[in-house]
Chains A and B, each alone.
Chain A
Amino acid sequence: MQADQAWDWEPGARTVLEDATACAAPHEWTEEPEASPDGERLAAVANLGDGRFTVCVNAEPWETDFEKAWYLRFSPDGRLTAVTMEDGMWTVSVDGESWEESFDFAWGTTFSADGGVIAACIQSEGTYGMIVDGTPWETLHENANNFRLAADGLHTAAAVQVKSLGQADIATFQQGIFSVAVDGEPWDAIFVNCFDPAIEQKTGRAAATIRRSLYDYSVAVDGKAWDAAYDCAWGPVFHPGNGQVLAPVRKKGLWGMAGDAGFVWNPAFIQCHHPQFSADGATLAAIVAPSFGKFTVAVNAAPWSATFPVVTDLRVSPDGRTVAAQASNDNAAFRVLVNGSVWPGVYDMAYGPVICPATGQVAVRVEKDGRQAFVLGGKAHPETFDRAFNPIFSPDGAKVLLRGISGKAYKRIVAPVSAFTG
């Protein structure tokens, strides 16, 4: 989430809404609230009774109500979206205005990194694709999944079924019925499976993990498959500088990282997934298991020394100088890991580290004994909440926007970095 300088960054706490469940319209209940990125609005779906729903923003209902409304999400630029249904047809509503076209089903709203582009998945008369800012793909497919919107919002992609399949027709399936569609148009190449497409910003090149047979995993870029075959593979990533595609792959029981010319990280890990580049491509990090049951993060193939039963939520700063993740044991005893060091705090839950793009500082929303709080650099802010939202750094990194609900009140707090002392 990129903060905006125009937001109110004056340090201090402000109650935005006295009652987070309030709705000015007569209603039966309100659902789980979402906070706007700038913290100024709290929104929730409200059941109006008689099977009607609307969305309340700071307790004020949208002018329109619907047969159904759900999946309330703020875009990074602050627009509020909901998936809505009227007369049995579904679409996306943005700030109360529904997209003109509606479909037999719509779901999975997603955003470009700056929020300027909004996309969703659609099904129309049994065919599948995506819709971008209200405009559906021209070509829909018998099935589609693994939907993606490029970070710059210029292109979309999905794994699509391009050949029909009869019931229990295992022969046709193994000949290949899947491809990857970019902006709706499928590659010429067809594979047994296509998984986890990735889209390169600006160019719209797409890469995906493929199965050429039940046993032969590889990666295809713009429909052209690598020669090499692997025993298994996870989703690929594009090098943001030179466009090279890399993916975690498995060979003879061990995982490494490969490109089209072979391994760039030797297959030395029991597991390797979720690779992520820094913006300049100089740093490549991934979650790895150097030995069975022991997970950590590897940066440019070198694993950190501290290992844990589980590691998730890998983040890499744009300059690559900060790599963060979180660790847990049996989904408890959450720890925060930054550049190989382990913060002293142990939490009941952590919600993924947030790295300040300007300074590399790390903040995390955590939960302990039923209360949510914020920790920066290992030190906690004194305010705790029943429910909170992820922290957002100010553009210069000197302050952190904290948003949360305590009791009934929804609060917005601008906390200087120095306020994290616990």
Chain B
Amino acid sequence: MTTTIADRRIEDAGLEAGIARLTPEKIQKTIQAVLAGEGGARLKTYVETCVRCGMCAQACHYYMSHKDPSYAPVAKVRQTMWEILKHKGLVSPEFIHQCAQIAYTECNLCRRCMHYCPLGIDTAYIMSFVRRICHKLGVTPQYIQDTAHSHSATMNQMWVKDDEWIDTLKWQEDEARDEMPSLRIPLEVEGADFMYSVIAPEPKFRTQLIYQAAFIFNQAGVNWTMPATPGWDNSNMAMFTGDMEIMGRIEMAHFATAQRLRVKRIVMGECGHAFRAIYDVANRWLGWGMHPVPVVHSIEFFWELLNSGKIQMAKKYPGPVTIHDPCNVIRGRGLMDKLREVVHAICDGVVEMTPNREHNYCCCAGGGVINCGPPFKNVRIVGNSIKAEQLKATGVKTCIAPCHNCHGGLDDIIHKYGLGMELKFLGDIIYECMEKKGAS
């Protein structure tokens, strides 16, 4: 069945309030300014080279779940950017609502379709451009916009205040000392080998991940630190709302913190989109050709710790387990082999899901989609039934996903489709099964 975006319109306070402020003339003026200032050769190339072959359709989990051609990547572009260009930006407020709904909630910017396009067109870039236009028009979903506001006010995505961050680290240090009396979470240590950075959900409600990371690093005897200032949060929802200016400010704070501490590199917790912001997008908006301080995802860092013998496993996690490849660190960084080497080193019985590696299906939470909140929750769950089928076909009950957003998205899918699976971070398993020589 073929539908249109108008058939599945969803009310959202941010989108409704946004379009209520618009007129076609205001829209055109803004769009023309964005196109003139930011719509360069890349956009033009993608628009002009698409041959409408439709091979991208089967790359998209929304299409594969609904089998509705209007969810195909090319259809998303047709319903948004092509119309914008065709009408030179003179479109209605309701059309902008539709653009926002497609770009923010029906595309995870996962870049799977790029691998299926014979011309290598990056539809995620085009959808990001649509989001940029929507941001400039003030038409963004309420909940993700709130996270962008939080970033601007606190430099983290969950309104964590300056003292709450430090207090949480001190609390986790205390907790962990019950298990390892000599454990430290070293704050503000100049010249450490690496700064460990996390996303705001960790101090907010996944504090055990900070505990586990601290335990692993102390056990490994590595020279590390965490900052006691804003700049600790490596996440970046402003990148996904299209607020590039706040995106840049967040990343400036992050890198400036690492530079102030004179660390050799930044090691990131198990998050995918944060890696994309730091490694690929926001650093370049700031004018750097690459990141000014090397950035290492936890997959790589755990691989180093295991291969150097700094941590050793007392036992392997009893499998079977399967591996979910997060988009931003697999398609975005190529960590699929290291991820497998780590999982095989810490788990018994690895069952690959199909497809996998760079062809894995997205969790449907990333790209800011899960951050759009309750109004769109069902969209991303129903829109990823293909993921449920993929998970179920493994026949296993444990799925390893080294990414926060993936956990959020997969958890909803597991519950909705009754898969009875549990989700694990790499850190969960390493902490549980490693040798704990310093523990009491």
Apart from A214-B138, A295-B287, A387-B191: 12 A-B pairs, beta carbons within 8 A: A32-B186, A71-B228, A107-B228, A128-B162, A143-B153, A193-B152, A193-B153, A217-B245, A232-B248, A270-B287, A330-B292, A367-B191
Measured between alpha carbons, how far is A283 from B262 in the docked complex, in Å? 28
Q: Which residues of B contact A112 (CB under 8 A)?
A: none
- Is A271 within 8 A of B186, CB to CB? no
Q: Which residues of B contact A214 (CB under 8 A)?
A: 135, 138, 243
- Is B191 within 8 A of A331, CB to CB? no
Interface residues on B, range: 35 or more
Contact partner, A310, options B187, B264, B288, Cβ 8 Å: B288
Residues from 175 to 193 in B contacting A, C-beta threshold 8 Å? 177, 181-182, 184, 186-191
Measured between alpha carbons, how far is A68 from B252 in the docked complex, in Å? 31
Q: Which residues of B contact A293 (CB under 8 A)?
A: 287-290
Known A71-B188, A105-B163, A214-B138; contact A309-B288, beta-carbon cutoff 8 A: yes
Asked if A289 lies at the interface with its beta carbon under 8 angstroms from chain B, I say: yes
Asked if B28 lies at the interface with its beta carbon under 8 angstroms from chain A, I say: no
Asked if A123 lies at the interface with its beta carbon under 8 angstroms from chain B, I say: yes
Asked if A4 lies at the interface with its beta carbon under 8 angstroms from chain B, I say: no
Asked if A187 lies at the interface with its beta carbon under 8 angstroms from chain B, I say: no
Task: Tally chain A residues at the interface, Cβ within 8 Å.
Answer: 55
Residues from 189 to 208 in A contacting B, C-beta threshold 8 Å? 192-193, 195
Known A28-B182, A70-B187, A331-B294; contact A309-B289, beta-carbon cutoff 8 A: yes
Asked if B142 lies at the interface with its beta carbon under 8 angstroms from chain A, I say: yes
Measured between alpha carbons, how far is A168 from B146 in the docked complex, in Å? 5
Instruction: Kindly supply a per-residue 1/0 record for chain B positions 284-306, scoring 1 wherever the CB is within 8 Å of any chain A CB and 0 otherwise.
Output: 00111110111000000000000
Measured between alpha carbons, how far is A71 from B166 in the docked complex, in Å? 11
Asked if B397 lies at the interface with its beta carbon under 8 angstroms from chain A, I say: no
Q: Which of A54-62, A93-101, A170-178, A373-381 contacts B (4 or more CB under 8 A)?
A: A170-178
Q: Lowest 9 A-B CB distances belong to which pairs?
A: A293-B289, A271-B287, A105-B163, A289-B287, A310-B292, A270-B287, A168-B146, A232-B245, A331-B293
Asked if B424 lies at the interface with its beta carbon under 8 angstroms from chain A, I say: no
Q: Which residues of A contact B161 (CB under 8 A)?
A: 123, 128, 143, 145
Measured between alpha carbons, how far is A170 from B332 in the docked complex, in Å? 32
Asked if B11 lies at the interface with its beta carbon under 8 angstroms from chain A, I say: no
- Is A195 within 8 A of B259, CB to CB? no
Asked if B392 lies at the interface with its beta carbon under 8 angstroms from chain A, I say: no
Asked if A29 lies at the interface with its beta carbon under 8 angstroms from chain B, I say: yes
- Is A211 within 8 A of B292, CB to CB? no
Q: Which residues of B contact A168 (CB under 8 A)?
A: 142-143, 146, 373
Nearest Cβ in chain B — how far from A236, in angstroms?
15
Q: Which residues of B contact A107 (CB under 8 A)?
A: 162-163, 166, 228
Could you name 14 residue pairs across A and B whose Cβ atoms are closer than 8 Å?
A: A29-B182, A32-B189, A108-B229, A128-B163, A143-B154, A170-B142, A170-B146, A195-B249, A211-B152, A214-B135, A310-B292, A330-B294, A331-B264, A387-B191
Q: Which residues of A contact B13 (CB under 8 A)?
A: 170
Residues from 205 to 244 in A contacting B, C-beta threshold 8 Å? 211, 214-215, 217, 231-232
Asked if B85 lies at the interface with its beta carbon under 8 angstroms from chain A, I say: no
- Is A145 within 8 A of B293, CB to CB? no
CB closest residue in chain A, given B143:
A168
- Is A331 within 8 A of B287, CB to CB? no
Asked if B24 lies at the interface with its beta carbon under 8 angstroms from chain A, I say: no
Measured between alpha carbons, how far is A232 from B249 in the docked complex, in Å? 9
Known A68-B170, A349-B264; contact A312-B228, beta-carbon cutoff 8 A: no
Residues from 406 to 425 in B contacting A, C-beta threshold 8 Å? none
